């Protein structure tokens, strides 16, 4: 266990549904991330939050809406998704030390999303 | 932006042999290079990392080398075991590690 949990582990949704992915870290970190992992493609960074503030939005379509209510929880709200959005969505956390520390990113197990 | 290329995409070795995975990066400002191992049904887990002020780092059977001039770094696994079978990802980052750029992954298969 890495200290980062994600729910649900699997999700099937239609294109008109609204669903949310949840991530929780028990490591006391101050930075959290959402990544998309598609087959045969590199992990794609979607969003970064530092101290609950969004510091990175990697040109992600607005049908993905992140929310970070506190440093331990991160959500990804999904609505009107497309079949090409089917992928493994990974959450990660780190202790952002401004470049002076390890800044290791710890990943959760991911949510396998299928959009029909 | 940063671009990371990783080779090979698949690698099959016999148990006990060594495995080498290579990555190149494009941004000369990159200074942090982690390697992750991803097993089936799990998220990536850090196995070793190196910073640009070091040329080599070793942890038991795993080692990473960095050539800043050539902008490439490599993962070396010695005495491979079946449990080493997984997908391995390299990554690079400049400044803080908050913005990692990943390679496309190498599927390592260790056969008996």
Q: What is the pLDDT along chain B (112 residues), one digit of tens a residue?
A: 789 999 999 999 999 999 999 999 999 988 889 999 999 889 999 999 998 888 999 999 999 999 999 999 999 999 999 999 999 999 998 765 567 889 999 999 999 8
**What is the pLDDT, as a whole number, of residue A98?**
61
Per-residue tokens: B106: 């190498």
Q: Does A43 touch chain B (CB under 8 A)?
A: yes
Which strands form B56-59's sheet, in the order they lie side by side? B4-7, B19-25, B72-77, B62-67, B56-59
Q: How far apart are CA A42 and CA A103, in angstroms?
A: 20
**What is the pLDDT, as a whole number, of residue A100?**
52
User: Which residue numbers in chain A have pLDDT < 50?
Assistant: 101-102
**What is the pLDDT, as a whole number, of residue B95?**
62
Contacts of B32 in chain A (CB under 8 A): 103
Q: Does A59 touch chain B (CB under 8 A)?
A: no
**What is the pLDDT, as a whole number, of residue B100?**
86
Please report where in the chains the tokens 């990692």 appear, as a residue.
B100
**What is the pLDDT, as a whole number, of residue A28?**
93
């Amino acid at each position: 266990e890495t200290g980062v949990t994600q729910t649900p582990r699997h999700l099937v949704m239609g294109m008109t549904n609204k669903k949310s992915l949840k991530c929780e870290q028990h490591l006391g970190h101050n930075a959290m991330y959402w990544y998309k992992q598609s087959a045969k493609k590199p992990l794609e960074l979607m969003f970064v939050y530092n101290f609950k503030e969004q510091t990175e939005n990697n040109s992600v379509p607005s049908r993905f809406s992140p929310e970070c209510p506190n440093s331990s929880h991160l959500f990804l709200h999904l609505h009107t998704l497309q079949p090409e959005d089917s992928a493994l969505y990974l959450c990660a956390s780190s202790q952002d030390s401004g470049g002076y520390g390890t800044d290791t990113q710890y990943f959760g197990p991911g949510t396998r999303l299928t959009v029909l | 932006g940063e671009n990371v290329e990783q080779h090979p995409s698949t690698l099959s070795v016999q148990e006990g042999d060594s495995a080498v995975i290579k990555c190149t990066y494009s941004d000369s400002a990159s200074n942090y290079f982690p390697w992750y191992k991803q097993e089936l049904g799990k998220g990536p887990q850090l196995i070793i990392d190196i910073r640009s002020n070091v040329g080599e780092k070793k942890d038991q059977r795993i080692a990473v080398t960095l050539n800043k001039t050539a902008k490439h770094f490599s993962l070396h696994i010695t005495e491979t075991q079946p449990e080493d079978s997984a997908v391995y990802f390299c990554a690079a980052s400049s400044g803080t590690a908050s913005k990692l750029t990943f390679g496309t992954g190498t599927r390592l298969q260790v056969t008996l």
